[in-house]
Structure 1
Amino acid sequence: MGDVDAQFLRGLFDEEGSLHAGGRIALYRLYGLEGLLYVGISVAPLTRVRTHLREQPWGAQVIGIRIGYPDDAEAAEREAVWTERPKYNVVFNGRLPPPPADPASRLRTELAVEQRRLREFEAAVPESSAHLRLIVRGIEAKKEKIARLREQIEATEAARQT
């Protein structure tokens, strides 16, 4: 592979190996032979899909993936699960339409994701000094984002109490 090809491919992904999406949340669908298996959202859809393939008992059934970036991924996920009825989604797959997520709940979910990704960064063993710099930058960015999310959660909960 030429240098131009390698640069292009690296440009598609962010420092964490996820599709570069500028922090937007992806809506992904996983398909099997019998149809739609699962719908989910993630800031790192490829990483999340790999986790499903590795950890879910139905992971081996996945034969197709579709990723999109709707304006409101959380609302799009609720709607997709409610209307398309994926086989393995549990949440939002009931008889009544799901309630919209409250802002503090959304922030807590994002906080949990960022904390998990920080732990993954901190556990990574660098292959070179360039990898080390990327890992250190990633750790610092995650720490800053976690601090911002905690502040937003506190502000959201304080505003709800007044």
Structure 2
Amino acid sequence: MTDIDTQFLRSLFDEEGSLHTAGRTALYRLYGLEGLLYVGISTCPLTRIRTHLQQQPWGSRVIGVRIDYPHDAHAAEREAVHSERPLHNIVFNGEAPPPPPDRAARLRAELAVQQRRLEELQAAVPQSTTHLRLILRGIAAAQTKVDKLARDVQEAEQSEGTRQPPGRQTKRAKP
């Protein structure tokens, strides 16, 4: 490995050995042989994942990790836990997710879901021309929905002034 490679790799991590996230919140998924084990969010995802591996009884069963940086990590976590049903999440894992606090937050959550679905469709490799046509139709429909939701989010934020009521702001504990 060259010095440039070493410098690059070192630049990806902070002093504690966690990924530099520039203040962004990561959405992480932990997978085992039986499927999705856990979904969480953190500004230090590697540190938080290491904690799960060391402290959770299911930590030794983790065989895969996926880290994303969605625009609204809190909404993405809520949607992921509700729709993907990880085995070891307790919060949001009921019959229905708790409602987001306002219309803009609800629209951001739906926008995050649709953007993820659009990315998955765009990443699909067609097996035939028929598959390609179906994928292209799905991408077009998803893009239309993402564009509409993005406009709705912008309108909702403008109409609400993007302010949170004083008692509604929540902060997650740092790992």
- The residue that corresponds to 1:68 in the other structure is 68
- Superposed counterparts of 1:3-18, under 5 Å: 3-18=3-18
In structure 2, give the amino acid aligned to 1:46: L
Amino acid at match of 1:15: E
> Residues of 1 paired with 2:98 and 2:47: CA distance?
26
**Structure 1's 87 and 101: CA in aligned 2 closer, same or farther, altered over 3 A?**
farther
Gaps of 5+ in 2: 103-163
Identity of aligned residues (%): 69
Whole-Å Cα distance in 1 between the matches of residues 39 and 7 of structure 2? 31
In structure 2, give the amino acid aligned to 1:12: L
Taking structure 1 as reference, are residues 101 and 47 closer, same or farther at Cα in structure 2, changes over 3 Å only? farther
CA root-mean-square deviation: 1.9
1:32 matched residue in structure 2: 32
Measure, in 2, the Cα distance between the counterparts of 1:106 and 1:56.
28
Distance 1:38 1:86 in 2: 5
Give ranges in structure 1 of 5+ residues lacking alignment: 117-162
Letter in 2 for 1:55: Q
Distance 1:2 1:105, change over 3 A: farther
Q: Which stretch of the first structure deviates more once superposed, 25-34 or 94-103?
A: 94-103
Counterpart Cα distance in 2 of 1:41 and 1:106: 16
Q: 1:1-162 counterparts in 2 under 5 A? A: 1-100=1-100, 107-109=170-172, 112-113=173-174
SS at 2:71 equivalent: coil
Q: Which has the larger radius of gyration?
A: 2
Structure 2 distance, partners of 1:101, 1:11, is: 37
Q: For residues 105 and 33 of structure 1, what CA distance do their matches in structure 2 show?
A: 38
Question: Structure 1: which amino acid aligns with 2:93?
Answer: N
Q: TM-score, normalised by structure 1?
A: 0.63
CA separation in 1, counterparts of 2:101 and 2:29? 20
Post-superposition, which runs of at least 4 consecutive aligned residues in structure 1 deviate over 3 A? 101-108
Number of matched pairs: 112
Q: CA deviation at 1:18?
A: 1.5
Distance 1:101 1:14 in 2: 34
SS in 1 for 2:46: helix
